[in-house]
A and B are shown apart, each in its own frame.
Chain A
Amino acid sequence: DTAVSQTPKYLVTQMGNDKSIKCEQNLGHDTMYWYKQDSKKFLKIMFSYNNKELIINETVPNRFSPKSPDKAHLNLHINSLELGDSAVYFCASSPRQVSTDTQYFGPGTRLTVL
Chain B
Amino acid sequence: GNSVTQMEGPVTLSEEAFLTINCTYTATGYPSLFWYVQYPGEGLQLLLKATKADDKGSNKGFEATYRKETTSFHLEKGSVQVSDSAVYFCALSAPRNGNQFYFGTGTSLTVIP
Contact = CB atoms under 8 A, between A and B. Distances in A.
A100 B45 contact: no
A74 to B, nearest CB: 14
B33 to A, nearest CB: 10
Nearest to A58: B100
Interface string B48-72: 0101000000000000000000000
Contacts of B85: none
Nearest to A40: B105
B108 to A, nearest CB: 8
Contacts of B45: 105
Interface stretch (A12-20, A41-49, A65-73): A41-49
Interface of B: 31-32, 34, 36, 38, 42-46, 49, 51, 87, 89, 93-95, 97-101, 103, 105-106, 108
Interface of A: 4, 31, 33, 35, 40-45, 48, 50, 55-56, 90, 92, 94, 96-108
Given A105-B43, A108-B43, A42 B103 contact: yes
B100 A45 contact: yes
Contacts of A102: 34, 46, 49
Nearest to B93: A99
Given A40-B105, A100-B93, A56 B44 contact: no
B75 to A, nearest CB: 16
A103 B32 CA distance: 12
